[in-house]
Amino acid sequence: MVISFQDYTDYGYDLISEMAWKRWYIVAYQIVTLQTFNRVNEETLVDGSDLAQRNRWGICELADLLYTNSANLKETASGGAMKSFTNEGYSETFATASLADLQALLAEGIQNTLSIFFESWQLFRGGGSYFAGLEGQNNNL
């Protein structure tokens, strides 16, 4: 595990408990490696660069996002996100947000977090070292 719970708290994060950190770190790390086509990995996270530091913060931010949204998703999936009221003997119950709405917001939050803490060449399949050395060779890239 590249980012320890101590690192997480040293960066100013505090939502996830020490017991739960490993689980949420693994999920966030797997999303990042998947979304960056493994351009962000254990090796690149420890190279000491400013980009590596920003990527480490991004994984912590993503872990926090996943952690906080997991409770909302569970509550909604179990019907807990319902509001009720009674008005002169007439009862009304409605959902505050649908599960699909919350999932869409989570997906948007993940994409926003990735775009803030990771470079575009890390996120797009055609970027990165694939194009290294090919500039000016008229390859119609």
Distance CA 77, CA 103 (A): 11
From residue 74, give the alpha-carbon distance in Å to each of 34, 121, 138.
24, 34, 53
What integer pLDDT is reported at residue 6 of this predicted model? 98
What integer pLDDT is reported at residue 138 of this predicted model? 41
Going from N- to C-terminal start, the domains of the chain cover 5-126
What integer pLDDT is reported at residue 135 of this predicted model? 42
What integer pLDDT is reported at residue 99 of this predicted model? 74
pTM value > 0.95? no
What integer pLDDT is reported at residue 119 of this predicted model? 93
Mean pLDDT by 10-residue block, N- to C-terminus, for the chain (141 residues)? 97 97 97 94 94 97 94 64 62 67 88 94 64 40 37
